[in-house]
Amino acid sequence: MTASPLDLIRFQPALLLWATCQLPEWVRGKLDPADLVQQTLLEALKTPDKLTGRPDHEVLAYLRRALTNNLIDATRKFAHDRGGDLSPEVIAQSSVRMADWIAANHTSPSEGADRNERFTRLATALSELPDSQRIAVEMRYLMGMKVNEIARQLGKSEGAVSVMLFRAVTALRGVLTEPDA
């Protein structure tokens, strides 16, 4: 693998999902996950020697770590306003809700590669949903919001949000359980 923009851009959906999961709720209005992903990819392009010849799962792991570091640095800028704990452990806690589908405590390289592949598939599948469904899924399953909170934020009825979530989960389940996927 070479570190060209075309090679790295395919990791963007997975990185965007990762950034969205890890972004602490109190800083969501101040930082855009897409900006952090763009910064991470640009930094990776400046050091192609670290990625050249590496398998995809290693490149994704490197990019996720770099993204986490950028997230930590960016949230520290806002720490004095809030006075909160910004340890990597605290920031990483917001991604725990994805653990049911993605993470298991695997230690072998093949299991880590499989986990990265599932994460990438999930991110890609989410990015293909209609915006309203994707946002509802992110709010419910990645941010842990309740249906009534989502309805209030989106200006929709609870029933409409429930239907949106049902359709989105059905679509995701169909894509993610395909044998080819």
Mean pLDDT score of the chain: 76
What the block records as the tokens of 22 is: 């890890």
Q: What is the pTM of this model?
A: 0.55
Range of lowest pLDDT (33-37, 123-127, 156-160, 161-165): 123-127
Span 85-112, pLDDT tens digits: 545 554 444 444 444 434 444 456 677 6
The confidence score (pLDDT) of residue 105 equals: 44
Give the integer Cα–Cα distance in Å for 33 and 106. Answer: 27
The confidence score (pLDDT) of residue 165 equals: 92
- Sign of the CA dihedral running 120, 125, 131, 132: negative
For the cut 80, the answer to whether the pLDDT of residue 164 exceeds it is yes
The confidence score (pLDDT) of residue 131 equals: 84
Q: How many residues does the chain have?
A: 181
Between 50 and 142, residue with greater pLDDT: 50
CA dihedral 55, 99, 33, 14 (to 10 degrees): 30
The confidence score (pLDDT) of residue 80 equals: 55
With a pLDDT cut of 90, the percent of the chain lying above it is 15
37, 106 contact by CB (below 8 A): no
| pLDDT band at residue 138 under the 50/70/90 scheme | confident
Q: Residues 152-165: what's their mean pLDDT?
A: 91
For the cut 90, the answer to whether the pLDDT of residue 3 exceeds it is no
Residues sharing a CB contact under 8 Å with residue 115, sequence separation 6 or more, in sequence order: 102, 103, 104, 106
The confidence score (pLDDT) of residue 180 equals: 56
Spell out the domains of the chain, with CATH numbers in brackets.
5-124 (no CATH), 129-181 (1.10.10.10)
Span 53-79, pLDDT tens digits: 888 778 888 888 898 888 888 887 766
What the block records as the tokens of 171 is: 């679509």
User: Position of tokens 């952090």?
Assistant: 36
The confidence score (pLDDT) of residue 101 equals: 39
